[in-house]
Amino acid sequence: MSFFRRYAQNVGALVGLAILVVVIIVAAAAPILYPVSPWQGIGDPLLGPFEDSAFPLGTDMLGRDIAAGLAYGARVSLLIGVISTAVAVLIGVSLGAVAGYYGGRVDDLLMRFTEFFQTIPAFAMAVVLVAIFSPTITSITLAIAVVSWPPVARLVRGEFLSLRSREFVQAAIVIGQTGPRIMLTQILPNAISPIIVTASLMVATAILTESSLSFLGLGDRNMMSWGFMIGAARTMLREAWWLSVFPGVAILVTVLAINLIGEGLNDAMNPHLRGRKG
Amino acid sequence: MKTLEFLIQRLAKAVMVVIGVVILNFLLIQLAPGDPAAVLAGEAGAGDEQFIAQLRAQFGLDQPLYVQLLSYLKNVIAGDLGFSYRNHVPVADLILERLPATLLLTGSAFVFSLVLGITLGVIAARRRGSIGDSVIMTGALVFYATPLFWVALMAVLVFSIHLDWLPPFDMETVGAGYTGWARVLDIAHHLILPAVTLGLFFTAVYTRLTRASMLEVMNLDFVKTARAKGVPRGRIIRRHVLRNAVLPVFTFASVQAGQLVGGAVLTETVFAWPGIGRLMFDALLQRDYPVLLGVFLVTATVVVAINLVTDLLYRIVDPRIEATG
Amino acid sequence: MMNSAAPLLEVASLSIPLPPGLDREYAVENVTYTLNSGEILCVVGESGSGKSMTANAIMGLLPSYLKPSGGRILFRGRDLLTMSETELAHERGRSVAMIFQEPLSALNPLMKVGDQIAEVLLVHGERDSARREARVLDLLAYVGLPDPSNLRYAYPFRLSGGQRQRVMIAMALALEPAMLIADEPTTALDVTTQAQILELIRSIQRAKGMGVLFITHDFGVVADIADKVVVMEQGVVVEQGRAGDVLNRPQHPYTRRLIAAVPHRDGQNERASTIGEPLLEVRNLSKVYRSGGGLFSKPRVVRAVDNVSFTLRRGETLGVVGESGSGKSTLGRCLLKLTDVEGGEIRFRGQDLVPLTPAAFRPMRRHLQMVFQDPFASLNPRQTIGRILTDGPVANGVPLVDAERKARDLLGLVGLEPSAYDRYPHEFSGGQRQRVGIARALALDPELLIADESVSALDVSVQAQVLELLQELQRKLDIAIIFITHDLRVAAQVCDRIAVMYRGAIVECGPPSQVFDAPRHDYTRRLIAAIPGLHWDPRAAVA
């Protein structure tokens, strides 16, 4: 059975994909749907949901449209989620591949380094990094990447280490292929599925981290984000529940969708690991 | 003999990590945009030229980098984490005062999530494919995708604002002046919401992990041996599967300790819990960088200590470690 | 015996359907055989013959997606297939016991072996812990384990493979069951250990009058212990009868083919004349593994290859025979510089390879090639056969067009269809993959081929074909072969000379006739004595 057929058999994964597509469309169409900046107050303050048909999700204390905020927030979440994951995967794969393939001292050194970054509390470190380098979209993305690469490095190292001793890799050495070539053409293609699965789940975690940072006020001040909306609405919880409920639901649904996709990918790529029915 | 050697090795490693964090902190001060002295001063005196100059002299900021690093290291080892110019108190005093509250919160959340997570995971694995399994795993999936701080806010909305069952803020009732058991009960009452909301995400993680691990172990050969011996199903789960399945969950939980402490920053912020997480948030608002870096160092140290203890415990629980370690 | 008329076990017309979508409809179909008390019945067959399936069905240990669709399994007259799980659990361990192929994974890694044995007694109603302990000590001593009073507190990882299997046997014997099912119990063990375990099972069976259902793929083992034999192919019983009849007068063509494929001594080697000048001279080669070692403890040192010397001539086949841990595979890896060497010389065409850097050695690699053990792990699952065969020549500077032409020629040479070129490894059987592995090595026109257990993972009939192919290629291409194997019979069949390795050193080296008929070293004698089916001549059976 092909990969796509197996993926399509997983209802949860399909639902996740559908949700993610909707989120992507909303994010892409945000400037068309809501031409006015989400920072601009354009309605009465603190309109409840469905009180005014122009603002179906209500407005905040400055009369800003919650729905517009959600649409623009999706852009930030997806952008930071994807780019920080890409950077983290790049770092993790490079370090993990070198450590796993060459072993010995190189491996020792790189793994000590990785362990160090894995031990120190990731979120606290992200907070410190963003605070010290002042919150911009670049510093946030990099901070999230810096705290999230170690699991990738460990995963890739493990894969390379075990694949390295596999006979087809030994055979590649025996026929005279060079180290970099073996890593790229023999080992990496066989290690790619777990990397993809991990990366997809990391996007979800990155979105959670980004929202947590901006909840603490460490978001980019020029970009509306879901975490910021919740953080700003925190003091209004008693008076205006919708200010924090809707952005939270947006985060939940997006992260859930990506997790479902990740699990779907995992099942589709490792069919033998999947439990039998019944 | 072997255990002692192991202990020394692990201890050395832990110390190295802590020193690494100190060096990292030092580098961050140096790398931060602007004058390191201004960073140390925080918002407190950024405008005051004379104050900055005084700080620069005090920290030897005109000396070569390695000299600065050495003196910085020396200070930290002596227990001096810097001075909060904002609060006019040494950072170490601020943190020490707040640390117990955080340990109480994260410790409770850890125990709560581990016990509940493993229990639910075992139930789900035993009733695989049943409605109970689906309910548990769906719940785990949802809480795995929910931001900590939002769960906390929603819990306040429901249990404090609407139902008025549990207090939304603080660690104890202000001005009540409880002592003895009354105070313990009062703190416990305040602890429920923060600990549970902090623990839910990790409960989800441990549930998923336990279930997967149980199912994997159930497929191993020695389970078949146990069946061939005529061991009843219940006893197979208890005596053969559970222990083998739970070990990797413990390892993972120990690695995750850092995340739990990080999560405390968010939970304490929402619940105004007087711990170092809340301290970190306040330091953020006030740009009080010495406090920020101090909290970072202390959280890292706590995590290293937790890992050290679990490593030692693991050595006792798993007989194979001694041979391979 | 009280009731010698009724059989102990009667499997009647048992059929177990496979889930839809697989290459055949039944895992086992219409299987019928009987086992009496005091008898050893061997079920023999190649992989996929369904030989283990029936055993699992008897124990009620089939995976949930397999359900018998017809037939009966009568144990002392009661149908096991109609019993409830509780009733079955009552019988398991008490009247029927089972041992498995891989004793390490069959034991709980976190439970002391004594406790695992005592558990059988406990779950079958022995409440008195002192009596349980006494029985455990008896059992451990009975199966020949040293120092039972300490050994019962050991965890399985502390024991050797043979000791673990003895623990499994002790566990199976705990309640003196009437029947023992042994599912390939010696396949994962070395020959000398295998001989001991077989001897143990046989002596216990005689002493207790048990019925033993013994599943194996090895006709040599069958010849050693069977009273009766059942031969299975593709889920069907093709022949059964008394051991002497089936072994010496096989009737069914499949049985004849299997027996003909059993490796054997060829008698003499006529090719001695074609052997040419020295190609590879190994002098005092040593390789040491260090493990553990910390602040206070000395590292454990294992001399994997200890001062090994030999000469290999063009066109010659040298067998390197030894048990696991003898250093035979490490030797092969040293020769190809897949691992670094402590000392000594490897002179290939007069040039010492040991001091060469990896980069300096790479251009020479094409002369020394290897055929690996595992046909499933030795081919990159993400590459087509064509890519696998052309990678080597391309890495050595051959233009892709030439490499492709050569690859297609090679497919014919090793007996594969031209269409194989564009297909992926998973589309091929084990034997076919091993042919691809041989073609990959030959693509570089090597002068020396190292075959590391290259036929060990294959079924006997396939093994015979691959061996034949190797011999034929050697005659055609005049290459020297180092044939590393644990199986003396295989070595005797294909090698001009045999080197016996024991604890890293070559203890004996000579032509097969000398090694077999006049072994000089004590270890060689033990090794030969341990060969299963030594006194049975498969040649005579199918002549």
Q: What are phi and psi of B29, to 5 degrees?
A: -60, -40
Answer for the pair C21, B188: CB distance below 8 angstroms, yes or no: no
CA distance C285 to chain B (A): 29
Structure tokens at B135: 């309910």
Tell me the C-alpha distance between C9 and C72, whole Å. 10
- pLDDT at residue C211 in the model: 94
Q: Where are the domains of chain A?
A: 3-269
Q: Domains of chain B, with CATH numbers?
A: 100-274 (1.10.3720.10)
Reduced to 3 DSSP states, what percent helix, strand and coil does chain C have, rounded to the nearest 5? 40, 25, 35
Compute the half-sphere exposure of residue B34: CA atoms within 13 Å on the CB side of its CA. 13
Give the mutation candidate from B225, B318, B320 for the C interface (greatest C CB count, under 10 A).
B225
Q: Is the dihedral of CA A141, A146, A150, A156 positive or negative?
A: positive
Assign residue C398 a region: left if phi > 0, alpha if psi is -120 to 50, beta otherwise? beta
Q: Which residues of B touch A208 (CB under 8 A)?
A: 145, 147
Given a cut of 50, is residue C2 above it in pLDDT? no
Residue pairs between chains B and C whose CB atoms are closer than 8 Å: 84
Instruction: Say whether C9 sits in a helix, a strand or coil.
Output: strand
Q: Could you give the angle at the alpha carbon of A91 between the alpha carbons of A124 and A183, nearest 5°?
A: 150
Instruction: Decide if A278 and C65 are in contact by the 8 Å CB cutoff.
Output: yes
Q: Which residues of A touch B32 (CB under 8 A)?
A: 132-133
CA distance B214 to chain C (A): 14
Tell me the C-alpha distance between B59 and B40, whole Å. 10
Tell me the C-alpha distance between C332 and C452, whole Å. 7
Structure tokens at C196: 């001991």
Cα maximum dimension of chain C: 79
CA distance B179 to chain A (A): 31
Tell me the C-alpha distance between B141 and C495, whole Å. 61
Quote ipTM for the complex. 0.87
Is some CB atom of chain B closer than 8 A to the CB atom of A206? no
| Alpha helices for C9-128 (secondary structure H) | 51-59, 85-91, 103-106, 113-123
Instruction: Say whether C75 sits in a helix, a strand or coil.
Output: strand
Task: Please tell me which of the candidates C64, C336, C377 has its beta carbon nearest to residue A167.
Answer: C377
Given a cut of 80, is residue C295 above it in pLDDT? no
What does the mean pLDDT of chain C come to? 89
pLDDT along chain B (325 residues), means of 10: 77 90 88 74 64 74 78 83 83 92 94 95 92 94 93 91 84 80 88 94 94 92 92 91 90 84 90 91 86 91 88 78 48
Given a cut of 60, is residue C269 above it in pLDDT? no
- pLDDT at residue B122 in the model: 94
CA closest to A258 among chain B residues: B145
Compute the half-sphere exposure of residue C281: CA atoms within 13 Å on the CB side of its CA. 8
Tell me the C-alpha distance between C204 and C99, whole Å. 14
Instruction: Say whether C429 sits in a helix, a strand or coil.
Output: coil
User: What's the pLDDT tens digit per position in A26-77?
Assistant: 999 989 988 888 888 787 887 778 877 788 888 888 888 889 999 999 999 9
Answer for the pair C13, C31: CB distance below 8 angstroms, yes or no: yes
- pLDDT at residue A39 in the model: 85
**Alpha-carbon radius of gyration of chain C:** 26
Q: What are phi and psi of B151, to 5 degrees?
A: -55, -45
Cα A76 to chain centroid distance, Å, stands at 11
DSSP state string for B253-279: HHHTHHHHHHHHHHHHHHHT--SHHHH
Give the mutation candidate from A3, A101, A173, A174 for the C interface (greatest C CB count, under 10 A).
A174
CA distance A176 to chain C (A): 5
Give the pLDDT mean for A211-220.
92
Given a cut of 80, is residue C264 above it in pLDDT? no
Instruction: Pick the closest to residue C199 from C225, C177, C179 (CA basis).
Output: C225
DSSP state string for C281-298: EEEEEEEEEEE---SSSP
Instruction: Decide if A168 and C377 are in contact by the 8 Å CB cutoff.
Output: yes
Given a cut of 70, is residue A173 above it in pLDDT? yes
Q: Which residues of B touch A238 (CB under 8 A)?
A: 161
**CATH class for the region spanning A3-269:** mainly alpha
Instruction: Decide if C93 and B230 are in contact by the 8 Å CB cutoff.
Output: yes
Question: Helix B148-155 and helix A188-215: axis angle, to 10°?
Answer: 40
Answer for the pair A230, A54: CB distance below 8 angstroms, yes or no: no
pTM of the model: 0.86
- pLDDT at residue A277 in the model: 30
Is some CB atom of chain C closer than 8 A to the CB atom of A186? yes
Lowest mean pLDDT among B66-75, C190-199, C363-372, C491-500: B66-75
Instruction: Decide if B17 and A116 are in contact by the 8 Å CB cutoff.
Output: yes
**With a CB-CB cutoff of 8 Å, which residues 269-308 of chain B face chain A?**
269-270, 280-281, 284-285, 287, 289, 292-293, 295-296, 299-300, 303-304, 307
Q: Which residues of C touch B9 (CB under 8 A)?
A: 294-295
Tell me the C-alpha distance between C352 and C375, whole Å. 31
Instruction: Decide if C100 and B323 are in contact by the 8 Å CB cutoff.
Output: no
Quick one: DSSP state of residue B159? Answer: I
Answer for the pair C312, C482: CB distance below 8 angstroms, yes or no: yes
Q: Which residues, in sequence order, are CB contacts of B254 under 8 Å at separation 6+?
A: B306, B307, B310, B311, B314
Q: pLDDT exceeding 90 applies to what percent of chain C?
A: 62
CA closest to A257 among chain B residues: B145
CA distance B231 to chain C (A): 6
Tell me the C-alpha distance between B228 and C60, whole Å. 9
Strands B83-84 and B89-90: antiparallel
Confidence category of residue C423, pLDDT binned at 50, 70, 90: very high
Answer for the pair C486, C469: CB distance below 8 angstroms, yes or no: no
Answer for the pair C241, C216: CB distance below 8 angstroms, yes or no: no
Instruction: Decide if B265 and A124 are in contact by the 8 Å CB cutoff.
Output: yes
Given a cut of 50, is residue C56 above it in pLDDT? yes
Is some CB atom of chain C closer than 8 A to the CB atom of A181? yes
- pLDDT at residue C151 in the model: 92
Q: Which residues of C touch A278 (CB under 8 A)?
A: 64-65
Is some CB atom of chain A closer than 8 A to the CB atom of B27? no
Question: Helix A137-164 and helix A66-102: axis angle, to 10°?
Answer: 30
Task: Please tell me which of the candidates C64, C362, C373 has its beta carbon nearest to residue A167.
Answer: C373
Is some CB atom of chain B closer than 8 A to the CB atom of A259? yes
Q: SS3 for C444-455, per residue?
A: CCCCEEEEECCC
Q: Which chains touch C (3 or more CB pairs under 8 A)?
A: A, B
Is some CB atom of chain C closer than 8 A to the CB atom of A162? no
Instruction: Decide if C64 and A276 are in contact by the 8 Å CB cutoff.
Output: yes
Give the mutation candidate from B28, B130, B138, B150 for the A interface (greatest A CB count, under 10 A).
B150
Q: Which residues of C touch A166 (CB under 8 A)?
A: 377
- pLDDT at residue C113 in the model: 94
**With a CB-CB cutoff of 8 Å, which residues 151-210 of chain B face chain A?**
153-154, 156-157, 161
Q: Which residues of B touch A273 (CB under 8 A)?
A: none
Tell me the C-alpha distance between A129 and B25, whole Å. 10
User: How many other CB atoms sit within 10 Å of the CB of residue A105?
Assistant: 8
Tell me the C-alpha distance between B204 and B199, whole Å. 9
Confidence category of residue C267, pLDDT binned at 50, 70, 90: very low
CA closest to A172 among chain C residues: C392
Give the pLDDT mean for C509-538.
90
Question: C506: exposed, middle or buried (C-beta count within 10 Å: 0-12, 13-18, 19+)?
Answer: buried
**Alpha-carbon radius of gyration of chain B:** 24
Given a cut of 80, is residue C196 above it in pLDDT? yes
Answer for the pair A225, A76: CB distance below 8 angstroms, yes or no: yes
Tell me the C-alpha distance between A190 and B162, whole Å. 54
Instruction: Decide if B141 and A259 are in contact by the 8 Å CB cutoff.
Output: yes
Q: Which residues, in sequence order, are CB contacts of A258 under 8 Å at separation 6+?
A: A16, A20, A81, A200, A201, A203, A204, A207
Q: For residue C71, what is the enclosing H or E element? A: strand C70-75
CA distance A195 to chain B (A): 19
Tell me the C-alpha distance between A253 and A244, whole Å. 14
No. of helices (H) and no. of strands (E), chain C: 21, 20
- pLDDT at residue B168 in the model: 82
DSSP state string for C288-337: EEEE---SSSPPEEEEEEEEEEEEEETT-EEEEE--TTSSHHHHHHHHTT
- pLDDT at residue C293 in the model: 58
Answer for the pair B110, B302: CB distance below 8 angstroms, yes or no: no
Instruction: Decide if B318 and C110 are in contact by the 8 Å CB cutoff.
Output: yes
Instruction: Decide if B323 and C158 are in contact by the 8 Å CB cutoff.
Output: yes
Question: B278: exposed, middle or buried (C-beta count within 10 Å: 0-12, 13-18, 19+)?
Answer: buried
DSSP state string for C461-526: HHHHHHHHHHHHHHHHH--EEEEEES-HHHHHHH-SEEEEEETTEEEEEE-HHHHHHS--SHHHHH
CA distance B304 to chain A (A): 7
Question: Helix B91-126 and helix B257-271: axis angle, to 10°?
Answer: 110
Instruction: Decide if B299 and A124 are in contact by the 8 Å CB cutoff.
Output: yes
Structure tokens at B73: 């290291």
Reduced to 3 DSSP states, what percent helix, strand and coil does chain B have, rounded to the nearest 5? 80, 0, 20
In chain B the first and final C-alpha atoms are separated, in Å, by 14
Is some CB atom of chain C closer than 8 A to the CB atom of A208? no
Tell me the C-alpha distance between A80 and A76, whole Å. 6
Instruction: Pick the closest to residue C533 from C223, C229, C263, C225 (CA basis).
Output: C223
Q: SS3 for B55-117, per residue?
A: HHHHCCCCCCHHHHHHHHHHHHHCCCCCEECCCCEEHHHHHHHHHHHHHHHHHHHHHHHHHHH
- pLDDT at residue C5 in the model: 61
Instruction: Say whether C279 sits in a helix, a strand or coil.
Output: strand
